[in-house]
């Protein structure tokens, strides 16, 4: 295939359709409450896109993406909480000017590591740097020692468990199991009214497209090809002289940063952050968003996140008992019946019938280990 432009025709069409759905169809069709809900679903799409890069392209399955989502969310929540805890607003506390949960836990001064979050610029930097640094430490330690596959999945899951226990245990510093709640304004702009939520929805959508384009650029670059080669035959890539570990560390950090951006947008739109979003269960659910959408398809990940979350809300509202059966069956069905997810179904059944002029079909990617 000759490289004529950055996007192939069907990719451009796919992006346009997705943009149409996110920026036109949803805002027109849904009321403010539902739109906010869909905005929340879309924040999970950031994680799913990161997972497509790590898992689908790189073969690295992380069961700890919730940690990075949570890190981004907590960074944003800390900034908002500090803004909401002005000395005037917290005058009834024994120590005014610190977040309420700290006061309840007899802490009298703001901890040092909270202080950078007074500044919005530093907070934005932290949302990108903190998870990347954390992912770098994990990735450096593990990929250099050639830990991969199942072991990596189990250890990242353990890390998710550790972080959750730590957040819940250190109530005075993190808000404990309730999380950081009662967030009000962002730089003086009230984020609670419907208008603000709609605006945040669009910001979220734009950021999502930025992430999608970055991910597409990565996949199309030489780097992306090395990544796929690594997934399919790691040793051969290593023997060809590539530094496999560095590639893995990089993609893991990128995935972490995307998850973190999603987390920050989650906090802004939902108005709180709590350890229930960090733990093992949500982390593994994030993998299912990616698997349902199709582990090799970036746009599929967005649809997967939307569809599974929408189903979760709908079913758990009307049939709370059946929901877990449905979700469990979905896990099994996706793995056994259609490992390439929605994108695979689209490629197999819809695409051949489309009346579009197209080049020879690309070879089917095999499911990653």
Residues that bind another protein (CB under 8 A): 55, 61, 141-142, 145-147, 149-151, 153-155, 157-159, 161-162, 165-166, 168-169, 280-281, 284, 287-288, 291, 321, 323-325, 327-332, 334-336, 339, 367-369
Dihedral sign computed on CA atoms, order 235, 236, 241, 243: negative
Return the number of the residue (144 or 351) whose C-beta is nearest another protein.
Answer: 144
Q: Compute the least distance from the CB of residue 57 to another protein, in Å.
A: 14
Q: Compute the least distance from the CB of residue 170 to another protein, in Å.
A: 8
Return the number of the residue (98 or 292) whose C-beta is nearest another protein.
Answer: 292
Return the number of the residue (193 or 328) whose C-beta is nearest another protein.
Answer: 328
- Tokens representing 220? 């199309």
Residue 198's CB is within 10 A of a number of other CB atoms, namely 15
Determine contact, residues 179/77, Cβ cutoff 8 Å.
yes
Q: Compute the least distance from the CB of residue 163 to another protein, in Å.
A: 9
- Tokens representing 302? 């967005």
Q: Compute the least distance from the CB of residue 228 to another protein, in Å.
A: 16
Q: Compute the least distance from the CB of residue 144 to another protein, in Å.
A: 9
Show Cβ contacts of residue 58 under 8 Å, excluding neighbours closer than 6 positions.
227, 230, 231, 247, 248, 251, 252
Return the number of the residue (146 or 192) whose C-beta is nearest another protein.
Answer: 146
Return the number of the residue (261 or 287) whose C-beta is nearest another protein.
Answer: 287
Residue 45's CB is within 10 A of a number of other CB atoms, namely 31
Q: Compute the least distance from the CB of residue 157 to another protein, in Å.
A: 6
Return the number of the residue (102 or 334) whose C-beta is nearest another protein.
Answer: 334
* DSSP assignment letter at 297: -
Q: Compute the least distance from the CB of residue 110 to another protein, in Å.
A: 22
Show Cβ contacts of residue 82 under 8 Å, excluding neighbours closer than 6 positions.
99, 110, 114, 117, 118
Q: Compute the least distance from the CB of residue 149 to another protein, in Å.
A: 6
| Residue indicated by tokens 């997972």 | 51
Closest CA to 303 of 12, 11, 21, 16: 21
Return the number of the residue (85 or 156) whose C-beta is nearest another protein.
Answer: 156
Closest CA to 55 of 287, 221, 258: 287
Return the number of the residue (132 or 138) whose C-beta is nearest another protein.
Answer: 138
Q: How far apart are CA 172 and CA 86, in angstroms?
A: 18
Determine contact, residues 163/70, Cβ cutoff 8 Å.
yes
């Amino acid at each position: 295939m000759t490289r004529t432009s950055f996007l192939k025709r069907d990719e451009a069409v796919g992006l346009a359709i997705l943009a149409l759905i996110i920026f036109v169809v949803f805002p027109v069709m849904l009321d403010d409450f539902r739109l906010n809900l869909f905005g929340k679903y879309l924040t999970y799409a950031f994680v799913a896109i990161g997972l497509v890069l790590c898992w689908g392209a790189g073969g690295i399955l992380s069961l700890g993406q919730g940690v990075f989502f949570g890190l981004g969310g907590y960074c944003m929540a800390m900034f908002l909480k500090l803004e909401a805890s002005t000395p005037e607003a917290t005058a009834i506390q024994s120590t005014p000017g610190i977040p309420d949960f700290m006061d309840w836990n007899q802490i009298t001064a703001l901890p040092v590591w909270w202080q950078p979050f007074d500044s919005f610029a530093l907070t934005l930097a932290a949302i990108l740097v903190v998870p990347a640094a954390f992912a770098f430490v994990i990735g450096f330690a593990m990929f250099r020692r050639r830990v991969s596959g199942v072991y990596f999945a189990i250890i990242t899951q353990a890390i998710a468990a550790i972080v959750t226990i730590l957040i819940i245990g250190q109530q005075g510093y993190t808000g404990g199991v309730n999380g950081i709640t009662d967030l009000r304004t962002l730089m003086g702009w009230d984020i609670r009214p419907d208008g603000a939520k709609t605006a945040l929805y669009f910001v979220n959508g734009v950021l999502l497209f930025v992430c999608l384009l970055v991910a597409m650029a990565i996949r199309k670059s030489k780097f992306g090809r090395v990544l796929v080669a690594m997934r399919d035959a790691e040793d051969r890539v290593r023997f060809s002289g590539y530094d496999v570990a560095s590639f893995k560390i990089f993609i893991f950090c990128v995935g972490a940063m995307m998850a973190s951006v999603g987390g920050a947008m989650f906090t802004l739109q939902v108005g709180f952050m709590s350890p229930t979003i960090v733990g093992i269960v949500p982390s593994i659910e994030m993998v299912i968003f990616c698997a349902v959408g199709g582990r090799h398809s970036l746009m599929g990940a967005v649809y997967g996140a939307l569809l599974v979350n929408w189903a979760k809300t709908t079913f758990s509202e009307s049939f709370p008992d059946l929901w877990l059966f449905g979700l469990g069956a979905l896990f099994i069905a996706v793995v056994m019946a259609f490992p390439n997810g929605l994108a695979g179904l689209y490629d197999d059944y819809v695409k051949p019938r489309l009346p579009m002029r197209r080049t020879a079909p690309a070879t089917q990617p095999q499911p990653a280990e």
